[in-house]
A and B are shown apart, each in its own frame.
Chain A
Amino acid sequence: MRATLTPSASGSSSAMNMIAALLEQRAGQQIAANRAWRIETALKPLLRVRGLKTLDELVAQLSASRTGELGDQVVDALLNQETSFFRDAMVLDTVSEAIRAIQAANPERRVRIWSAGCSTGQEPLSLAMLLTEKGMMQDALAPEIVATDISPAALNRARAGRYSQFEIQRGLPVRRMVTWFESIGGDWVAKPELVRRVQFRQHNLTSDCAPAGRFDLILCRNVMLYFSPTVRRQVFDILSSAVRPGGLLVLGAGETVIDLTEHFNPSEQFRGFYAAADGATPTLTTAR
């Protein structure tokens, strides 16, 4: 159940709650009462662009809007895009080990990886760098990396591969930075040969069916923590429908499958990872 949010300097309780409800409805994400300040902070640029003074005025425009475009902009601004290159680097090392093992067991086909909730692309690009450096992306059977996010703005940035100095130096070792990026106009831009190793697609984890085909390994790190337990269960069903039998799921450090799904169990081979349980794939319904 969503907490009732208290009024802020620029919005009534009613406006705050309507905006929180819109975010939950469109993206499944909840805003905790103690994080309600994010609404005001995140929407400030949008208010400025539209010449609005308060969140109540924004809600009035949302109610009058017929296209849903403003709603998309509000949701996009509220999504948490926190990410960094080589986040939890040891986990990515284990991912590369797992992919090597899957490649060895299936030499006749490409290993498929899904980075679900990739935000501005740092996770899949880190993985592409790592696998290339390990000589695993060389031939026609190189792993396929599909990266998805709900936010069109985040995906545009990911496809452009353009990062600020602040973003680039969080987690990215300098040797990788000079190998894989060019310094352009004060930003760092990923070389095309890196970006084209990742297929970026828009996808809503809480309402869309999984991308076509089955994946050997799914990364869905630091995404579930924004969802209610009910939505988490539904998302686990979607992930379960997308994973190959025996495939792997990687969650964020503080996330778990316990009490939320029976479709994944702790992997015996790869510590901290979850393996798809034997048995039937769940019948899927969308989250809403």
Chain B
Amino acid sequence: MKTCLVVDDSKVIRKVARHILETLNFEVREAGDGREALDACLDTPPDVILLDWNMPVMSGMDFLRALKDSDIAQRPKVVFCTTENGMAYIRAAIEAGADEYVMKPFDRETLESKLQIVGVA
């Protein structure tokens, strides 16, 4: 079973994402900000991370930089997840190391399609 780390400061979003991911047969872990997510990755890297962009403590962008600088051998795929759809914003996320992008709110089909694109579903 593949694992997905859902990183979002909103409990509601984490709950919705968890529900969808579990129907897609993922084992789901959760983190409330980038710092918690980094700790979770250093402990046991997931196969994929669903990453919110605007979070307290450590933002999605800062998390991606920290992930890049870490010595995690098997880098997880990262799908960044936001309410923004500006081109500059999306390009910045890709340059920072995100593999895919999904806009909130998303449905099961959309998320499944993104997970297929990054090769984990």
CB-defined contacts of B96 to chain A, threshold 8 Å: none
Question: Across the interface, do A165 and B87 meet the contact criterion of CB distance under 8 Å?
Answer: no
**Are the CB atoms of A169 and B103 closer together than 8 Å?**
yes
A186 in complex: contacting residue of B85, B99, B106, B117, CB < 8 Å = B85
Min CB–CB distance B40 → chain A (angstroms): 24
1/0 per residue B59-98: CB within 8 Å of A? 0000000000000000000000000011100110010001
Please indicate which of the listed interface residues B100, B102, B116, B117 has the most CB atoms of chain A within 10 Å of its own CB.
B117
Interface-side segment among A57-65, A174-182, A222-230, A243-251: A174-182
A164 CB to closest chain B CB (Å) equals 10
Chain A residues numbered 128-187 whose CB sits less than 8 Å from any CB in chain B = 165-166, 169-171, 173-175, 177-178, 182-183, 186
Residue of B nearest to A171 (CB): B113
* Cβ-closest 10 pairs across A and B: A174-B101, A183-B87, A173-B117, A171-B113, A174-B100, A165-B103, A170-B113, A169-B110, A170-B110, A165-B85
Q: Does B43 contact A (CB under 8 A)?
A: no
Given known A169-B102, A169-B103, A173-B117, contact A178–B87 (CB-CB < 8 A) = yes
Given contacts A174-B101, A175-B94, whether A166 and B85 have CB atoms under 8 Å apart is no
> In the complex the two chains form, what is the Cα distance from A89 to B121 in whole Å?
13
With a cutoff of 8 Å between Cβ atoms, the chain A residues found around residue B100 in the complex are 173-174
User: Of B86, B90, B113, which is within 8 A of A84 by CB?
Assistant: B113
Which of the residues B98, B101, B110 comes within 8 Å of A166, measured between beta carbons? Answer: B110
B65: shortest Cβ distance to chain A, in Å? 19
Contacts of A178 in B (CB 8 A): 87, 90-91, 94
Q: How many residues of B contact A (CB 8 A)?
A: 19
Q: Which residues from chain A contact B109 at a C-beta distance below 8 Å?
A: 170
Name the distance in Å between A158's Cβ and chain B's nearest Cβ. Answer: 20
Please give, as numbers and ranges, the residues of chain A lying within 8 Å of B113 by CB-CB distance. Answer: 84, 169-171
Q: Which residues of B contact A177 (CB under 8 A)?
A: 90, 101
Q: How far is the CA of A170 from the CA of B86 in the complex (A)?
A: 18
- B residues in contact with A166, CB < 8 Å: 110
How many residues of A sit at the interface, in one of the four size bands?
10 to 19
**A212: min CB distance to chain B, Å:** 36
B29 at the A interface (CB under 8 A): no
Q: Which residues of chain A are within 8 angstroms of B110 by Cβ–Cβ distance?
A: 166, 169-170
Give the chain B neighbours of A169 by CB distance below 8 A: 101-103, 106, 110, 113-114
27 A-B pairs within 8 Å (CB atoms) are namely A84-B113, A89-B116, A165-B103, A166-B110, A169-B101, A169-B102, A169-B103, A169-B110, A169-B114, A170-B110, A170-B113, A171-B113, A173-B100, A174-B90, A174-B94, A174-B98, A174-B100, A174-B101, A177-B101, A178-B87, A178-B90, A178-B91, A178-B94, A182-B87, A183-B85, A183-B87, A186-B85
Q: Shortest beta-carbon distance, B79 to chain A, in Å? A: 9
Q: Which residues of A contact B117 (CB under 8 A)?
A: 171, 173
Tell me the minimal C-beta distance from B43 to chain A in angstroms.
28
Write the nearest CB–CB distance from B38 to chain A, whole angstroms.
23
Instruction: Name the distance in Å between B104's Cβ and chain A's nearest Cβ.
Output: 10
Closest chain B CB from A179 CB (angstroms) = 11
Please, which residue of chain A has its CB at the minimum distance from the CB of B100?
A: A174
A165–B98 Cα gap in the complex (Å)? 19
Minimal Cβ-Cβ distance residue in B for A165: B103
B120 shortest CB reach to chain A, Å:
14
